[in-house]
Amino acid sequence: MPEIRVTPLGAGQDVGRSCILVSIGGKNVMLDCGMHMGFNDDRRFPDFSYITQNGRLTDFLDCVIISHFHLDHCGALPYFSEMVGYDGPIYMTHPTQAICPILLEDYRKIAVDKKGEANFFTSQMIKDCMKKVVAVHLHQTVQVDDELEIKAYYAGHVLGAAMFQIKVGSESVVYTGDYNMTPDRHLGAAWIDKCRPDLLITESTYATTIRDSKRCRERDFLKKVHETVERGGKVLIPVFALGRAQELCILLETFWERMNLKVPIYFSTGLTEKANHYYKLFITWTNQKIRKTFVHRNMFEFKHIKAFDRAFADNPGPMVVFATPGMLHAGQSLQIFRKWAGNEKNMVIMPGYCVQGTVGHKILSGQRKLEMEGRQLEVRMQVEYMSFSAHADAKGIMQLVGQAEPRRVLLVHGEAKKMEFLKQKIEQEFRVSCYMPANGETVTLPTSPSIPVSVSLGLLKREMAQVPLPEAKKPRLLHGTLIMKEGNFRLVSSEQALKELGLAEHQLRFTCRVHLHDTRKEQETALRVYSHLKSVLRDHCVQHLPDGSVTVESILIQAAAHSEDPGTKVLLVSWTYQDEELGSYLTALLKKGLPQAPS
């Protein structure tokens, strides 16, 4: 029995460390290879020993697919390919391929240089790993080998994020990675065609949330920033280098442009600058507005946003600064925060979630006095929270399921409790089964793959000619010979099959005797049979031959007197096996007897 097996090594009823193994049609594919933010020990990477105890990974896996560049989707890649050892192809989109190494390098630096970890992957390993990457375009069908093919769809979320369709023969799986169904200022919405996969593996981060319109949030954000700078205050926006930072930059840049504002906007240098460069390059991956206007001006070539210098923080007058990192736990953003916190005219806007224990979390929960390097810091500046998230909400997930029309759905990348709700909803609304395996738990799904058979054109045309109006979408019976040869199937007409196989045709006839009570002569019986059949089978050609027999199409009926009982006539019905249907119908009909004709 063919089946699809799915085992999440990470992201099963959990967020982070996305890594899902899929076996489909005898092929093994690994989807994403991420790290977990919450752990610093072995648990941060997926347990690759699950895949194979003592063989090489390359022998077991046919390919690895990375959906986007977030570290919880690609963070374990160098470890996996260089330290555990995998030499097969790794597929990702072009932007992911470009940005992924920057983030990996950053991650490595923090782990090794700051935290001093040993036994971590090196820069060289990142480079070697990236050499194994095969970049794919959107909607490009890539043949991994003769049978396995993959295809990328646009997913929104971050630059270069993609959903992947994995297909072997007629079986297919779609993996969404992370996606966003509402467009934002720099990216479009995820889209997939009606590909009707056997299984849809979707993220479910916001399984129990229906979000408000994005516009209100944007408007609020802009209004707050604008009011503050008009008052002469300074605005600090702590961000992580990629993704949201660009969205907010675009948002502010266009607003500045529209409102003709002159207040300077800065973003901290380094990572962001490098990433902006890639955003400029991959303009085709952005949203409609940016794509349409880049001929005039590339939106990522910011006119109002300049690189930040440490000294600018002390400049008088209003300004807006984007600084890393996003949770105010270290680095530049914290430095600036410390400088500006005392003035009530200033404002800090937290555009995302903050982990407990960070300064960001403290100020968001309303703490006004902070202990910092042994000194008391009073926070007089305004603190705002603004959530800009790029995951699909419950409605979005349902919308995508509706678009793709899968036969089954599997939820990953979310909390178990929330998944439970969504699972129930999906089963209820779409009437498809839904699964939510935990890490290491295998889901086995039987499939019924269809087997393609090539039909000879002659046969098809002949069949078409027989019935004038082909009723679309209704099954039709077709007579032919199935030839299985060298692993492919062909359906040809029987004459051709005989010819090809060099066989002579054997005639196969069924004969059947039907006893009838009739005292009249054979001729008359035959005549009665003839008139009876003629009246019943209006659509068929019924003939009375001169030798006294009756034919219906190619079926022969002869009447003879019973040797023993003269009152009984024996009807001999004979038909070839091709006419089995009609023949058996006729015998059944004749067995019922002839009507008592008035003649």
Q: Cite the active site residues.
A: 203
Which residue in the set 127, 217, 274, 540 belongs to the binding site for another protein (CB under 8 A)?
217
Query: Rounded distance, CA 86 to CA 47, Å?
Result: 14
Euclidean distance between CA atoms 34 and 45, whole angstroms: 7
Q: Near another protein by CB under 8 A, which window of 127-135, 215-223, 446-454, 487-495? A: 215-223
Q: The tokens of 159 are what?
A: 């630059």
Nearer to another protein, 282 or 585 (CB): 282
Instruction: Scan residues 165-194 and list those touching another protein (CB under 8 A).
Output: 182-183, 185, 188-189, 191-194
Binding of residue 223 to another protein (CB under 8 A): yes
**Is the peptide bond preceding residue 325 cis, with omega within 30 degrees of 0?**
yes
In this structure, the strands spanning 19-24 and 3-10 are antiparallel
- Residues 248-287 close enough to bind another protein by CB under 8 A: 254, 257-260, 287
- Check residue 478 for interaction with another protein (CB under 8 A): no
Q: Would you say the C-alpha torsion 111, 115, 118, 122 has a positive or negative sign?
A: positive
The per-residue b/e assignment along 95-122, b for 16 or more CB within 10 angstroms, e otherwise, is: bbbbbbbbbbebbbeebbeeeeeeeebe
Q: Which of 54, 213, 356, 596 binds another protein (CB under 8 A)?
A: 213
For residues 241 and 232, give the distance between their C-alpha atoms in angstroms, rounded to a whole number.
27
Q: Contact at 8 Å (CB) between 2 and 170?
A: no
Number of residues that bind another protein (CB under 8 A): 58
Closest separation in Å from C-beta 83 to another protein: 38
C-alpha distances in Å from residue 449, one per residue of 4, 28, 63, 145, 452: 11, 17, 22, 19, 9
Binds another protein by CB under 8 A, chosen from 127, 274, 280, 289 = 289
Shortest separation between residue 228's beta carbon and another protein, angstroms: 12
Asked if 383 is part of the footprint of another protein (rule: CB under 8 A), the reply reads yes
HSE-CB for 221 with a 13 A CA cutoff: 23
* DSSP β-bridge partners for residue 348: 236, 383
Report, in angstroms and rounded to the nearest whole number, the Rg of the chain calculated over CA atoms. 37
Applying the rule CB under 8 A, the residues between 409 and 468 that interact with another protein are 418, 421, 424-425, 429, 464, 468
Does residue 231 interact with another protein by CB under 8 A?
no
Tell me which amino acid residue 260 is: N
Helix (H, G, I), strand (E, B) or coil at 473: coil
φ, ψ for residue 284, nearest 5 deg: -70, -15
Q: Could you tell me the smallest distance in angstroms from the CB atom of residue 203 to another protein?
A: 16
Judged by CB, which is closer to another protein: 47, or 415? 415
Residues from 541 through 570 that contact another protein (CB under 8 A): none
Asked if 226 touches another protein (CB under 8 A), the answer is yes
Site for another protein contains 236 (CB under 8 A): no
**Among 66-74, 161-169, 380-388, 512-520, the segment contacting another protein (CB under 8 A):** 380-388
Decide if residue 399 touches another protein (CB under 8 A).
yes
Q: Measured between alpha carbons, how far is 426 from 186 in angstroms, rounded to an integer?
A: 30
Residue closer to another protein, measured from CB, 3 or 257: 257
What does the per-residue mask of binding to another protein show for 355-374, with x meaning CB under 8 A? ---------xxx--------
**Contact residues: another protein, CB under 8 A:** 182-183, 185, 188-189, 191-194, 208-220, 222-223, 226, 254, 257-260, 287-289, 350, 364-366, 382-385, 394-395, 398-399, 402-403, 418, 421, 424-425, 429, 464, 468-470, 472-473
